[in-house]
Amino acid sequence: MSAELLYALDQLEKEKGIDKETIIDALEQALISAYKKNFGSAQSVEVSIDRNTGQIRVYALKTIVDEVTDAATEMSIEQARIFGPDFEVGDIVEVEVTPKKFGRIAAQTAKQVVMQRIREAERGLIFDEFANREEDIVNGVVSRFDRKNVVIDLGKAEAVLPPSEQTPGEKYNIHDRIKVYVINVKKTNKNPQIYVSRTHPGLVKRLLELEVPEIADGTVEIKTIAREAGSRTKISIFSRNENVDPVGACVGQRGGRIRAIVDELRGEMIDVIKWSQSDEEYIAASLSPAKVLQVDLDEENKVARVVVPDFQLSLAIGKEGQNARLAAKLTGWKIDIKSESQLRNQIESQLFNLDSISYEDDEYEADLDEVTEVSGDTEPEQEYNAEEDLDAAEEKNYDQEADAVEDTDVPDEEISEQETEAEIEPEEKV
């Protein structure tokens, strides 16, 4: 049995990767518990397994004392001299107490311990493997659905794709092969819990590293990624080699490289943007595919005011503001987009407001002048008296003319003509 046990442990070490020495140590501890349970728990014992032959031996540990009070744990100096002449008081002597029927107990215990250690070791290996693969891509097959969670078979373990990490509008069917991004691995008493994602920006980054050799070897660097899973992703890249076009390297010949990533993401749009040290150029490029005419930066408030042609305003903003929102995430700037006509109307309204303000100021100054003139005490009264005198003089002249007409002896026809002229003259004057 002992030789067969060692052979089985050698096979486990080769196939499962479980350390043979670890299992033997665990087996020795388990045999100690089994011995105490079956042959007396008062003794302090030790189990030794020969690494070459597999022979199992049990030793009782006894302390050398001058006077023995507990024969199960103590031994006199005279008894100790039998095992060796060099023992002294206080030393510990190992006395073999291997039972004759201990082989059956050892076999049962070995089976239980080995099975338990195999499970623990496998769980540990799985945890270590996937813990090292956090923030990496793994391939899996959709195996089943647990409520709203999608359970993915990764071969040695199962991963959970929670609803929050599922791409909106993406459907998963049993036996579908998909690539997922490992976001977290938790160690539990049973199998490790592996959580994966299909919405994480790291998924796009790792897919690019797999498809584009220039990114894998470091020639092209991914600066930032802004993603709205299932709809659109913007990626800014930079080339450390002036002779390498970063956008062309990512897109590939006839778009072959980027098309493979789009297919894996099931039709998600990807915009590849060249990163620039100039904030104006970088912001203008981030609004691709729209063409930008002008970029004004407010460094203090981190606001960029962008002007685009009238016919490209909706393209720059995007559906429900998506293009502008992703550009803001990518660049880290708050972006305010206006068309040429909107900017022109704004400038005209500002100029009109300035003109109206200056006109109101002129009117206000004129009103002040009038108030200053009216504030005098004599001038208004003089004006008013002169008008009264003029009216009085006109009335006096009119009365004198009427009296002169009455006193003069003229014919009736002439009188009527004079009266007519007298009636007409005041009207003409008026």
Beta strands of 209-352 (E only): which ranges? 220-228, 232-239, 269-274, 294-298, 303-308, 334-339
Residue 347 Cα distances to 6, 141, 221, 354, angstroms? 90, 60, 41, 11
Q: State residue 149 phi and psi, 5-degree precision.
A: -80, 145
Cα gap 73→67, rounded to integer Å? 12
Pair (55, 173) in one structural domain: no
Residue 139 lies in a domain: yes
Range of the domain at 138: 133-197
Residues 6+ apart with CB under 8 A from 232: 268, 269, 270, 271, 318, 322, 323, 326
Pair (93, 158) in one structural domain: no
Pair (158, 113) in one structural domain: no
Pair (89, 26) in one structural domain: yes
Q: State residue 92 phi and psi, 5-degree precision.
A: -110, 130
Cα gap 394→125, rounded to integer Å? 125
Total residue length of the chain = 430
According to DSSP, the residues that pair with 192 across neighbouring strands are: none
Question: What is the model's pTM?
Answer: 0.63
Cα gap 149→282, rounded to integer Å? 39
Residue 37 lies in a domain: yes
Task: Report helix, strand or coil for 295.
Answer: strand
Q: Which pLDDT value is given to residue 2?
A: 65
Place of tokens 């293009």: 323
Last residue of one domain, picked from the residues 197, 219, 251: 197
Sign of CA dihedral 234, 238, 242, 243: negative
The domain tally of the chain equals 4
Last residue of one domain, picked from the residues 80, 113, 128: 128
Task: Report helix, strand or coil for 317.
Answer: helix
pLDDT in tens, the chain (430 residues): 467 777 888 887 887 777 788 778 888 888 877 777 777 666 677 888 887 777 878 887 777 777 777 766 777 777 777 777 777 777 777 777 777 776 677 777 777 777 887 788 778 888 888 888 888 999 999 999 988 899 999 988 899 999 999 999 889 999 999 999 999 998 888 888 999 999 999 999 999 999 999 999 989 999 999 999 989 999 999 999 989 999 999 998 888 899 999 999 988 999 999 999 999 999 999 998 899 999 999 888 899 999 999 898 999 999 889 999 999 999 999 999 998 888 888 888 878 776 565 545 544 343 434 333 433 443 433 333 434 443 444 454 445 444 444 444 444 444 344 443 434 344 333 3
Q: Long-range contacts: 147-154, Cβ < 8 Å, 24+?
A: 152/178, 152/180, 152/196, 154/130, 154/194
Q: Which pLDDT value is given to residue 375?
A: 39
Specify burial of residue 229 (Cβ count, 10 A radius: 0-12, 13-18, 19+): buried
Pair (395, 363) in one structural domain: no
Pair (113, 190) in one structural domain: no
Pair (297, 390) in one structural domain: no
Cα gap 351→353, rounded to integer Å? 5
Q: State residue 88 phi and psi, 5-degree precision.
A: -130, 170
Pair (421, 354) in one structural domain: no
Pair (346, 385) in one structural domain: no
Residue 337 lies in a domain: yes
Last residue of one domain, picked from the residues 351, 375, 399: 375
Residue 76 lies in a domain: yes
Cα gap 92→45, rounded to integer Å? 12
Q: Which pLDDT value is given to residue 422?
A: 39
Pair (55, 99) in one structural domain: yes
Pair (12, 124) in one structural domain: yes
Residue 87 lies in a domain: yes
Residues 6+ apart with CB under 8 A from 27: 49, 109, 110, 113, 114
The CATH code of the domain that includes 356 is 3.30.300.20
The CATH code of the domain that includes 107 is 3.30.1480.10
Residue 185 lies in a domain: yes
Task: Report helix, strand or coil for 402.
Answer: helix
2-15 vs 102-131: helix crossing angle, rounded to 10 = 10
Residue 355 lies in a domain: yes
Residue 20 lies in a domain: yes
Cα gap 32→55, rounded to integer Å? 15
The CATH code of the domain that includes 146 is 2.40.50.140
Pair (10, 120) in one structural domain: yes
Residues 48, 57 contacting (CB under 8 angstroms): yes
